[in-house]
A and B are shown apart, each in its own frame.
Chain A
Amino acid sequence: MSSRGTDSAYDVEFRTVTKRFGNLTAVNAVSFQVRQGEFLSLLGPSGCGKTTSLRMIAGFEQPDEGEIVIGGVDAVGTPPYRRDVNTVFQQYALFPHLTVLDNVAYGMKQKGVGRSDRYQRAREALELVRLTGREKHKPSMLSGGQQQRVALARALVNRPRVLLLDEPLGALDLKLRKEMQIELTRIQGEVGITFIYVTHDQGEALSMSDRIAVMSDGVIEQLGTPAEIYDRPRTAFVADFIGEMNFLEGTVSRTEDGEYDVTTAGGVVVRARGEATRGQAVKVGIRPARMRITGATDDGVVNAARAAVDTKMYLGDEVQVVATLGDGTQVVIREQRAGADAPHDAIRPGDPITIQWDRNAPVLLAETPTEQQE
């Protein structure tokens, strides 16, 4: 299958790449590697530099500093039409004056593939994305989801080293989006091409990717597997961006045997596994689902806090309680309503409760992303 040379372990490599627009730094000294056949997502809020990064890989923008290595070769300065990379554009960018089949065959035509050969392969690509019987239509006669499939086929049929997708599902409605997410992962598995996928939907990134790069303000805050990103976020930004997180601030009061204690202003002692520096002011995060409500009201226990209930909400199988700790910090607790959990159903706003968590639930968060390499 991989007839193209395996001259490098990485398909794409950013080496301290910086891109400026005027005095705005869109991408700031970013380094990362994309492995062969990997599904990597660039995830981040609007304006954080995802599209700019992607456009630099495609060759539409040139970095101001740093190197972009594609397939082991420095690609800076190579025009887009000489890169072994194809893009699925957010608005599809299908050629309106060409039929679906000609759209898909366009790339092969440029490479000089013979007529019958390229139509044959274009048909196969359309089959791969499950869009057949529409070959002779103009793109304008297709629905959004179908146009999306054509755009995908048009890029995939060239068997590029890397496929770049810029929020390809952004214009689709929720149901179609879920469907296409599954389709995309299936197709990626079938063709084995490296996917670099830009999105600002964290659910999408978590469910589809092999690894996720969380970006903010032109830098990568964390790069890791979905589980790593979710369970062990390194910074408060990542923790907050990927799902909900309760933050507790305090000072490291004890370190011992690979464990540390953080004491908050309200006297809550968080004991967790990991390394920390004594006396340091830190922020720890605990996922709402990792907190439990107990009836016990004993004081002075670690990993427990007394709180007053603000609101309670049923979310079907779960119940969500918002409560305020003694020092005024608000926390969210989400618990499964397994069976007849009478105590939880009895909770009313204003009730005093005790919240508990395991010592592997809290994660220590840095303010700024520390330079990290996996």
Chain B
Amino acid sequence: MPRPRRRRIVTAKRGFTLWALCVFAFLYLPIAVMALFAFNKPSPAALAGFTGSNVCDIPPTQLGNLTVWNGFTTCWFNVGLHDPTYIPAILTSARIAAGAAIVSTLLGLGAALALARMNKFVRVPFDSLVYLTLVVPEIVIAVASLIFFVQLRNYVSFFPPLGAWTVFLGQVVFGASLAMLVIRARFVGMGDTLEEAGYDLGSGRLATFRQITLPRLFPAILSAGLLSFTFSFDDYVLPAFTNGTTNTWPIVLYSAVRFGITPAVNALATLMLLATIVVIAIAGLVLRRGRVSASIETEETATAPVAMR
């Protein structure tokens, strides 16, 4: 009796493992293929007529079929990193995203702290508004921002024309809401006993905030910043409406795709993927330090009543 049952469980387990592998393959195979083809050579036909030393110098229109594997080369990384349109666009996007992430996080932090102390009649409407910016389709915010920014310039002379600044402002709307949610989730779970302990030991409000509240919120602040950075960096819809003549990386990439792209794009994407992995790993390490103490802290309060009786 128990034997076939055990075997059935094992089979089921294997089935689930296989299923999980399929899901992972579905998620990550495209990325793996993309990274692999960053090292692809031009087609043999193109190479046959080429006499230079660097195979990547072949003009994009004469590269031939790049959807099949032609051989290994690393020269696309060099091409990508010296591209006259890609690199400035990436830098523009990075600058906007960094600015948006910093400002969003600061605004989100302020809002989270203020909301925790507000009375219900102010907090609930404010909270709903914040959620609203997250659930309203981005296209709506994009169109609204475009109209608003264009109109505003008619009344406020120093308001910047459509460009990097307006992209940044539009993205802060979403980023700040996102940051507030992330920070607030942590702040609400914290309770204020530790702050009271700070006051009790003679540190004033500011000192307590700096020495107690801020270090404990740090993991949440870090994740809020990273999240708003990512959101802003690869956002297409909002910049497409409010960019004016500024080209962000997603916009450049999208227009490039329509004319066919070279493996140089794969190379840049692979580099970004690497950068992301490094950043996430560092953030993970930093957060883990915070989380170890945080989790034990909550565990402590959870087990205390049990230990009492």
- Which residues of A are at the interface with B, using a C-beta cutoff of 8 A? 58-60, 79-82, 85-87, 89, 91-97, 106-107, 110-111, 138-140, 144, 147, 154-155, 158, 170-173
Contacts of A111 in B (CB 8 A): 202
Flag if B202 contacts A110 (CB, 8 Å): yes
Q: How far is the CA of A138 from the CA of B296 in the complex (A)?
A: 11
Some 26 contacts from A to B, beta carbons below 8 A apart, are: A60-B196, A60-B199, A80-B200, A81-B202, A87-B196, A89-B193, A89-B196, A89-B197, A91-B193, A92-B300, A93-B194, A95-B194, A95-B198, A95-B212, A96-B297, A97-B215, A97-B293, A110-B203, A138-B293, A140-B292, A158-B202, A170-B304, A170-B308, A171-B304, A171-B307, A172-B307
Q: How far is the CA of A59 from the CA of B216 in the complex (A)?
A: 24
Residues in B241-296 with C-beta less than 8 Å from chain A:
290, 292-294, 296
Flag if B204 contacts A81 (CB, 8 Å): yes
B207: CB under 8 A from chain A? yes
Q: How far is the CA of A87 from the CA of B198 in the complex (A)?
A: 10
Contacts of B290 in A (CB 8 A): 97
Flag if B307 contacts A140 (CB, 8 Å): no
Given pairs A95-B212, A110-B202, A140-B293, 13 additional interface contacts (CB within 8 A): A60-B199, A82-B202, A86-B201, A89-B196, A91-B193, A94-B197, A96-B216, A96-B296, A97-B216, A106-B201, A106-B211, A110-B201, A140-B300
Contacts of A93 in B (CB 8 A): 193-194, 196-197
B301: CB under 8 A from chain A? yes
Q: How far is the CA of A96 from the CA of B197 in the complex (A)?
A: 12
Q: How many residues of B contact A (CB 8 A)?
A: 27
- Which residues of B are at the interface with A, using a C-beta cutoff of 8 A? 193-194, 196-204, 207, 211-212, 215-216, 290, 292-294, 296-297, 300-301, 304, 307-308
B201: contacting residue among A92, A107, A173, CB under 8 A: A107
Q: How far is the CA of A213 from the CA of B8 in the complex (A)?
A: 67
Contacts of B202 in A (CB 8 A): 81-82, 107, 110-111, 158
Contacts of A95 in B (CB 8 A): 194, 197-198, 212
Assess A171 versus B308: contact at CB under 8 Å? Given A96-B297, A111-B202, A140-B296: yes
Contacts of B199 in A (CB 8 A): 59-60, 79-81
Q: How far is the CA of A58 from the CA of B196 in the complex (A)?
A: 10
Contacts of B294 in A (CB 8 A): 96
Minimum C-beta distance from B41 to chain A (A): 53
Q: How far is the CA of A155 from the CA of B201 in the complex (A)?
A: 7
Contacts of A96 in B (CB 8 A): 194, 216, 293-294, 296-297
Contacts of B300 in A (CB 8 A): 91-92, 140, 144, 147
Contacts of B194 in A (CB 8 A): 93, 95-96
Contacts of A110 in B (CB 8 A): 201-203, 207
Listed residue (A170, A171, A172) with the most chain B CB atoms within 10 angstroms of its CB: A171
Minimum C-beta distance from A157 to chain B (A): 10
Flag if B296 contacts A80 (CB, 8 Å): no
Q: How far is the CA of A96 from the CA of B292 in the complex (A)?
A: 9
Contacts of B308 in A (CB 8 A): 170-171
Q: How far is the CA of A95 from the CA of B195 in the complex (A)?
A: 9
Q: How far is the CA of A87 from the CA of B216 in the complex (A)?
A: 21
Q: How far is the CA of A171 from the CA of B306 in the complex (A)?
A: 8
Chain A minimum-CB-distance residue to B290: A97
Q: How far is the CA of A172 from the CA of B126 in the complex (A)?
A: 42
Flag if B292 contacts A80 (CB, 8 Å): no
Q: How far is the CA of A94 from the CA of B293 in the complex (A)?
A: 11
Q: How far is the CA of A336 from the CA of B217 in the complex (A)?
A: 60
Contacts of A140 in B (CB 8 A): 292-293, 296-297, 300
Q: How far is the CA of A154 from the CA of B202 in the complex (A)?
A: 12
B200: contacting residue among A58, A94, A147, A172, CB under 8 A: A58
Chain B minimum-CB-distance residue to A107: B201
Chain B minimum-CB-distance residue to A82: B202
Minimum C-beta distance from A107 to chain B (A): 4
Flag if B200 contacts A81 (CB, 8 Å): yes
Q: How far is the CA of A147 from the CA of B200 in the complex (A)?
A: 18
Contacts of A92 in B (CB 8 A): 300
Q: How far is the CA of A140 from the CA of B216 in the complex (A)?
A: 14
Contacts of A97 in B (CB 8 A): 215-216, 290, 293
